[in-house]
Amino acid sequence: MNLMRKRSLYRHVIPLLLLILLTISCGAASTQAPPKQTTAALSTFSPSLRSLAQAHSLYIGTAVNADALQNEEHYRDTLAREFNIVTPEISMKFDATEPERNLYTFNKADSIVAFAKAHNMQVRGHNLVWYQALPSWLSSGHFSRGDLMDILRQHIITEVLHYGGKVNIWDVVNEAINNDGTLRDSIWLRGIGPDFLDLAFRWAHEANPQARLFYNDYGGEGMSRKSDAIYNFVKGLLQRGVPINGVGLQMHINLDAYPNPQDVLANMKRLAALGLEVQITEMDVQIQDDPRPMQAKLDAEGQLYREMLSMCLAVKQCTAFVMWGFTDRHSWIPEFTGHPDAPLIFDAEYRPKPAYFALVGVLSGR
């Protein structure tokens, strides 16, 4: 069955199944608005995000913090129950995996990959080439162009080979383009020149020809100079025969600054028309600067999650919807901005927020 037909079929079948399930579990209460639910209550009668997403042939996921995964049972339970794709939040980055030259440390990322395998989840490898998260031996070293090419090639090949068939999606290049469309300054651009981009994709492909290779960035979700530049960049890769399979739209947004959803749709469609996959890879919604009362902010946050997931569902080449964390207990935003926030779909006590129910609503056709 083609994916679009499957999606529209489920749009009708899932609400019906949900209604039957709710009628059985809640009796007369099923006609009333759902009570505020705890995660425990959720697991007794509500279908998980992953089961709903599967019916649309969509992966739904989150970034994973290796320490929380190790230390918090509630974190593990919620992760396993709700999601079918994960992205290690920091543990696959250059500084985490090659802290000394030619000394590789994969144990934290390995624990995430093992959890994913045990729970039948996909893994997005993140990331192979970035201007940040570089170990000091690299950022403060003085290397020739040839040295830097050897370092990058070794790093990419070693990491991709280490994960072999366990990681079949890689963010090969992360955030290489500025908002004005020019190439971002980095040790790679300065030391190797713009060729580093083509080379990174070619080396990743050499190490795992089965893996789907992505360019991933923020601020290029809608229509803008940056998204035009990303579009032209990936089109150029394809024209030169460089192996690339998809574009990741990070989607770090704010209640008061977000791309027009129709523009996101148009951008996804033009990328898909090149024959590429698209994925939403790091969604979160900052609410800290908005002056409205908390409940209004949480509802508006839910509305943005609803709209962005709807755009993804409307394009069959949009194959995954991934958030940058799932509980406000572990979000990078407070540290990044210096202020408290609540950007994710579960609160700090793992209770589902309006944003969670917004995603359930989209996936069940409501």
Residues at the site binding ligand XIL, with contacts judged by CB under 6 A: 89-90, 174, 250, 282, 332
How near is the Cβ of 127 to ligand XIL at its closest, in Å?
Answer: 6
Looking at the DSSP bridge assignments, the partners of residue 48 are none
Find, among 249, 345, 334, 251, the residue nearest to 301 by Cα: 345
Distance of CA 198 to the CA centre of its chain: 23
- Active site (annotated) includes residue 175: yes
- Active site (annotated) includes residue 282: yes
Structure tokens of 364? 């069940």
User: DSSP states of 291-346 as a string?
Assistant: -S-HHHHHHHHHHHHHHHHHHHHTSTTEEEEEES-SBGGG-SHHHHHSS----SSB
Distance from C-alpha of 186 to C-alpha of 261, rounded to nearest angstrom: 31
Catalytic pick among 82, 89, 159, 175: 175
Nearer to ligand XIL, 78 or 250 (CB): 250
How near is the Cβ of 264 to ligand XIL at its closest, in Å?
Answer: 18
Q: CA Rg, the chain, in Å?
A: 21
Half-sphere exposure in the Cβ direction for 250 (13 Å, CA) = 20
Distance from C-alpha of 233 to C-alpha of 176, rounded to nearest angstrom: 10
How near is the Cβ of 305 to ligand XIL at its closest, in Å?
Answer: 18
How near is the Cβ of 268 to ligand XIL at its closest, in Å?
Answer: 19
Find, among 310, 313, 316, 341, the residue nearest to 327 by Cα: 341
How near is the Cβ of 334 to ligand XIL at its closest, in Å?
Answer: 11
Minimal CB distance residue for ligand XIL: 332
Nearer to ligand XIL, 89 or 328 (CB): 89
Active site residues: 175, 282
